[in-house]
Structure 1
Amino acid sequence: MSNGRIQLRFHFAGKRYYISTGYPDTPHHQKLAQLKASEIEKDILYERFDPKDLSKYTPEGAPRKVTPVTPPKKVQPNLSELWEKYTEFQRPNLSPSTLAKDYKRVERCINLHLPSKSVDDAIAIRDWLVKNKPPNSAKRMLTELSACCKWSVKSKLITENPFTDMAGDIRVPRGQSEDTDIDPFSLEERDKIIETFKNDRYYKHYAAFIEFLFMTGCRPSEAVGLQWRHIANDFKTVRFEQAVVVSENGLVCKQGLKTQRRRQFPVNPKLAALLQSIKPEGATDDMKVFPAPKGGWIHADNLTNRGWRAVLEKLDSKMEYRKLYQTRHTFITAALETPITMPDGTIKMLDAKDVAKLVGTSAKMIYEHYAGAMKKLFVPEF
């Protein structure tokens, strides 16, 4: 019906047609309209239908203008919508920290920074990323967008992935991650940092935590996650098996470590004394070894940006600023360089494989990034 008049609607060769009969909606005129519809159907069947001349199907006195209508093109979802659906699909398989950091970073870039959210503007998006982001960030972003669109094609949300192979065109200078950005403190610098924390009016609460990091080489997230059930009653071992990471909803404690499910760390007398000195009377297994001032988990990133930075600024101006993670590199470097006197009086150096086991990394990592750089080659006499 159109304006109270019967209208014929049909498809031919992928187009939709409307013919206004001019008939009022009565039983008698419905039969007449049906006859016209049958006539059109027969002409199409016998291949005598002429879409350019439809006058024969229009009753006398009815409007002669007939307009073919092309169905509207289906609107594709934009990158913001695709990324939201992709994130929800991936959520069960992602760690809280990956969701909170990596996936949120992509979401913010799409919603706040990209010049367009349309998948049709992939080239413009690539060019903007290359111009405005460091090479590794641009490459990572294009890789994520490509993965999202690849999933979207499989999910029949879009027809093609416009970001395919774009990331491969970007050359990234060899960079450094936290694990390979190695710039350790000297043992003298280490001791100054610990002592300054102990005497600091605002941040002395964290002194034991900082000392523990230097003495074990563990990752800050692993130390934050320690509870007294992980410390042996005789203070002979520490069991690392969980870590506190940043999630979408704040700090969460997750089972397992970065590269392994768990590891056991042997405690020397100096470390045992530290742990004994901070264990509260009547401590229960679930109590945190290193609680934040108000009892929650320590936020390592906040500590790095505030307390750690503030304390290092009080030290000798010649001491170059380095991140909290360098406590780990300081331990590994010292463990490889410091001779150990054995009970029988012999001198021994810890092997790279042993140090790797202590800190929860691979021997390959130790050999490539620590041992090789510290051992000087020489030619023996023979």
Structure 2
Amino acid sequence: MHSSSLSRKASKGSVQVKTSNGRLQLVFSYQGKRRYVSLGFDDTVQNRKLADLKARQIELDILSGNFDSTLLKYGLQSVDRAKPLTPVLTPTPAVHPSLAELWEKYTDFKRPGLSPSTLAKDFTKVSRCINLRLPTKSLQDSVAIRDWLVANKTPNAVKRYLTQFSACCDWATKSQLISHNPFKGMAADIKVPKGDLEDTDINPFSLEERDRIIQAFKSDRYYRVYAPFIEFLFMTGCRPSEAVALQWQYISEDFRSIRFEQAVVVSESGLVCKKGLKTQRKRTFPVNSQLAALLSSIKPEVATSETKVFPSPEGTWIDVHNLTNRAWRSVLSKLDGIEYRKLYQARHTFITAALETAITMPDGRFKMLDAKDVAKLVGTSPKMIYEHYAGKSRELFVPEF
């Protein structure tokens, strides 16, 4: 029989974690009565973390006078000492669906309106967590599920999972599959530290670093085939998925403009090309002389409208995930003095440089691109540019007037 760090000599209000028939149990005394509480979970390392959380919660409630003797607050049920110490969590009736079953039905309902990448990444990740990670799938154990997430995931991940579980159960309630949403309001209680927020990882390369990276790809015997693709990302600030999907029909014959109208994303069945972009239906990008020279140099003599501008070595869509793990990591590892950053930083590099670089006008005056103009070039909102780039990229000064 194993026991956790709480299985010590019992003191007033202490809660011990023990096992019975391979299942975890909490044992403690309250008002002179010995209580045996089954968690219903197998004795594993992860489940012991959850048991420790439960034990600490009950201990604190006993000491502070807030203990719920019905155990409903903790999603548990006590065991009569005279009876065998076997798991006694109230079984979910067969007519009541589990969280796994609800999530599968919810996914099928949402599938027609979801992008292939959302299905393949976000919904598959939630499904994997439910089916392979959670210690229980019963909706009656929603508190235990929340506590397990808190013990094993980052606050940001906990908030995302609970938000998805709640959305699923809201749908199930409206669909009359369950009577109420047991996860309602849980996500709001999870506080995410400011440093744990996503989409703020903006750490652009300098222009000197950009040029060294491009040259390194051109010189690499194994990955030089990707050099035009890497250079294109730095020179346009487009998303990698947009560059992968580019075909020659979207580049004007005189190389003066590019139309971004589609993206290659990961789906449940692999890479697929879909119409439309992440935040807009399409956008036009004006080509400067440097970019025009690049496009002219790589265009095949015989190119149909559907010929890929940046095909993989096998002639298929480039798999950005594989390119990052192999080519990008390999090339950057050989460049002294350049800190490794994700491929997506090529986009951040373009945006930052576009905001900081002055343009010489025909009359000799200098002009800086406005954040709204840069937003149009890269297909994002001016608000995003102002919040994450413009405020950080420029020094304040008082003009002469």
- Is TM more than 0.5 here? yes
The offset of 1:131, in angstroms, is: 0.9
Q: How do residues 103-252 of structure 1 correspond to structure 2 at under 5 angstroms?
A: 103-174=123-194, 175-178=196-199, 180-252=200-272
Q: Which residue of 2 aligns with 1:288?
A: 308
After superposition, the Cα gap between the structure-2 partners of 1:234 and 1:170, relative to the gap in structure 1 and judged at 3 Å, is same
Within the candidate set 280, 301, 305, 2:321 is matched to 301
Aligned-partner Cα distance in 2 for 1:280–1:118: 58
After superposition, the Cα gap between the structure-2 partners of 1:380 and 1:204, relative to the gap in structure 1 and judged at 3 Å, is closer
TM-score normalised per structure 1? 0.78
After superposition, the Cα gap between the structure-2 partners of 1:202 and 1:104, relative to the gap in structure 1 and judged at 3 Å, is same
The offset of 1:74, in angstroms, is: 5.0
Stretches (4+) displaced over 3 A: 72-75, 175-178, 378-382
Q: Which residue of 2 aligns with 1:362?
A: 381
State the one-letter code of the partner of 2:360: T
Is the contact made by 2:156 and 2:197 (CA closer than 8 Å) also made in structure 1? no
After superposition, the Cα gap between the structure-2 partners of 1:129 and 1:380, relative to the gap in structure 1 and judged at 3 Å, is same
Deviates more, 1:360-369 or 1:128-137: 360-369
The offset of 1:198, in angstroms, is: 0.8
Matched, 1:374 2:393: yes
Aligned-partner Cα distance in 2 for 1:380–1:221: 41
Within the candidate set 339, 342, 360, 1:341 is matched to 360
State the one-letter code of the partner of 2:369: L
Aligned-partner Cα distance in 2 for 1:378–1:234: 41
State the one-letter code of the partner of 2:106: Y
The offset of 1:176, in angstroms, is: 4.2
Q: Which residue of 2 aligns with 1:96?
A: 116
The offset of 1:375, in angstroms, is: 2.2
Is the contact made by 2:255 and 2:295 (CA closer than 8 Å) also made in structure 1? yes
Cα deviation, 1:165-201, whole Å, max 9, x if unaligned, reads 11111001224434x3211000110011001111112
**CA RMSD, Structure 1 to Structure 2 (Å):** 1.5
Is the contact made by 2:356 and 2:394 (CA closer than 8 Å) also made in structure 1? no
Number of residue equivalences: 309
Unaligned regions of 5+ residues in structure 1, if any?
1-71
Aligned-partner Cα distance in 2 for 1:381–1:153: 64
Q: Which residue of 2 aligns with 1:79?
A: 99
Q: How do residues 38-77 of structure 1 correspond to structure 2 at under 5 angstroms?
A: 75-77=95-97
Within the candidate set 256, 264, 283, 1:263 is matched to 283
Q: Which residue of 2 aligns with 1:67?
A: none
The offset of 1:377, in angstroms, is: 2.5
* DSSP 3-state at the match of 1:103: helix
The offset of 1:378, in angstroms, is: 3.9
* DSSP 3-state at the match of 1:295: coil
* DSSP 3-state at the match of 2:266: strand
The offset of 1:343, in angstroms, is: 2.1
* DSSP 3-state at the match of 2:271: strand
The offset of 1:346, in angstroms, is: 1.8
State the one-letter code of the partner of 1:292: S
Cα deviation, 1:178-234, whole Å, max 9, x if unaligned, reads 4x3211000110011001111112111110000000000000000001000000011
* DSSP 3-state at the match of 2:97: coil
The offset of 1:371, in angstroms, is: 1.3
After superposition, the Cα gap between the structure-2 partners of 1:156 and 1:187, relative to the gap in structure 1 and judged at 3 Å, is same
After superposition, the Cα gap between the structure-2 partners of 1:218 and 1:119, relative to the gap in structure 1 and judged at 3 Å, is same
Cα deviation, 1:268-323, whole Å, max 9, x if unaligned, reads 1110110011111110000110011101101112211221111100101x311100
Q: Which residue of 2 aligns with 1:12?
A: none
After superposition, the Cα gap between the structure-2 partners of 1:381 and 1:332, relative to the gap in structure 1 and judged at 3 Å, is closer
